Structure 1
Amino acid sequence: MAAERSFVAIKPDGVQRGLVGEILGRFERKGFKLVGLKQITPSRALAEQHYGVHKERPFFAGLVDFITSGPVVAMVWEGDGVIASARKLIGATKPLEAEPGTIRGDLAVNIGRNVIHGSDAPETAAFEIGLWFSPEELNDWTPSDQTWRVED
């Protein structure tokens, strides 16, 4: 059975504030495997597809404007329970409600600048991974320390 995968993106505010290394480190220390990574400034079309579920909401245009305002670090992480675990690492959407020790709890203060996005379900993860990455951009590899991180 293939390990679960999740899409995670460091938003323009996180990139501009120099938080990429800090955030990558948290996922690596947790023991997840990075199988896709790129930095891009999303097109409006990509942003509108990504946030399509919010199309009728009053904040949709602002979301699209923000995510296209600068570089985004798009990632695919793999591991057992990575979707739920990533959500715990990331913290509540509203940074003021996020627990200390989470990415948003430690590094963000405003919902409009909450640093990071993570898939919330397997279906969402599959959609987002397919939207942001081609299959050729994902690397299937085995970390040399895998036997020390996960029991078979």
Structure 2
Amino acid sequence: MSSKDPPEVSAERGHLKVFLPRKLVECLPKCPVLPKEQLRWNTNEEIASYLITFEKHDEWLSCSPKTRPQNGSVILYNRKKVKYRKDGYCWKKRKDGKTTREDHMKLKVQGVEVGGPQTQPPPSPKNLPLRLLRALLHRAHLPPPLLLAAAGNWG
């Protein structure tokens, strides 16, 4: 799989957007149900499968934190609504007793990073003059008539 494949963009339902290359979406199995209980760590493929299928299952999203959830529970939170460490789990403190340890990891499936957009869309030619004009407006040494003339040439 090449890294130049166009990214697959899932439809946004107001709370989650997952970016994956098309080949990766085709080879990963769709998850029909979220497991109620699991007593082992999820693999990267399973996590990506949950994220791909999540947009079709609004009932999987938990809007409020569960206090002391059952052992092995699989719960999905919207991280913009439920803050980290406020999910009902008793987090271990560091040796100083003040802070908890945070890990920020990137999800990789078959060597491809999952989660962020792989490419930036090119600027549309329609908005290009406005972008250039905004950039030029911050240059105090250019006289306003010159800026207006430049904007008129693009339109």
TM-score (norm 1): 0.22
Q: Which of structures 1 and 2 has the bigger CA Rg? A: 2
- Structure number with higher relative contact order (C-alpha < 8 Å, ≥ 6 residues apart): 1
TM-score (norm 2): 0.22
Q: Which has the higher strand share?
A: 1
